[in-house]
Amino acid sequence: MEKPNMSYIQSMSGGDNAFEQKLITIIKAEFPEEKKVYYNNLEAKNYKLTAENVHKLKHKISILGLEKSYETAVAFENNLLEGSTTLQDEFESILTIMTNYLQQL
């Protein structure tokens, strides 16, 4: 499985470390809450709202350089809109990887 990285953030920042830190701080603040809302909506079987949560989370997946994981998130979002939870385990593995990475930053 691919690993999160700072490549995209560094390419956006043009070497501005303050910008990089600000973006990481925002992600670290928003990600746990977005993840919590995702799990709550999934548990309630509200797949339309869960798909919206995945949509928000996939942007953070992209920002952390997880290209293949982003594709998984897109497919999972589409599955949820069709009432299917196929790819749930794969998506939640991505969330775990992101959580662990962000805790190390």
Domain-wise residue ranges, the chain: 37-105
Residue 7's pLDDT is: 95
Question: What percentage of the chain has pLDDT greater than the value 70?
Answer: 100
Helix axes 47-63, 88-104, angle to 10 degrees: 40
Could you tell me the pTM of the whole model? 0.95
Which letter does DSSP use for residue 70 in this model? H
- State the CB neighbour count (10 A cutoff) for residue 4: 21
Q: Check: CB of residue 6 under 8 Å from CB of residue 21.
A: no
Residue 103's pLDDT is: 96
pLDDT in tens, 50-94: 999 999 999 999 999 999 999 999 999 999 999 999 999 999 999
Query: Given a cut of 80, is residue 1 above it in pLDDT?
Result: no
CA atoms lying within 13 Å on the CB side of residue 99: 11
